[in-house]
Structure 1
Amino acid sequence: MDKEPTDEENTMDIESSQEVSLDNWGKQLLENILLTAAEAVGERREISDSIEVTLTFRLTPIVSKDQLEVSVAFKRDPTLRTHIPRQF
């Protein structure tokens, strides 16, 4: 059973976020994925051929602005956010 985030957790999430334009979203995302993978390499003890990076994306409709907010959180970096306008 998932617990609902408290107001304090929501506030912390907003304060530790970085909003980027849709044009820069892919670049920032790839940089953060590679950083996360590099950290995983440094932390592991066994040698293997590959590293797995698992990310959770949050999609939130912003009805008042007719947009979709896409965000992804990272361990040590701010949550990365962008907004995608609705296309007609």
Structure 2
Amino acid sequence: MALKRTNVYAEDGDLLLIKEAAARLGVPEAEIIREGIHRIALAHRVWDEPFVSDEETFDLGGPVGEDEIRTTVTQGYEERERRQHGDAA
């Protein structure tokens, strides 16, 4: 990837956060800044074509109730706990 030099004005507080993050991660401040630029560029990207057309739909299984959400979240949490503690079935 070819890099180009540019000048950017930033607030002191943001620069301090970048400096702290770079020190904590053991990377150059420029790497943090480049990652931030890349992420915001992707977040504001406009695609030439829509992801789905107006005619396309997704069947997500209909309405989901509170009990189903609670059960699914609880199961996911319990599975993660088993994996983290080496008790995976």
Question: Relative to total residues, which structure has the larger strand share, 1 or 2?
Answer: 1
Q: Please, what TM-score do these two structures have when normalized by structure 1?
A: 0.29
Question: Relative to total residues, which structure has the larger helix share, 1 or 2?
Answer: 2
Q: Please, what TM-score do these two structures have when normalized by structure 2?
A: 0.28
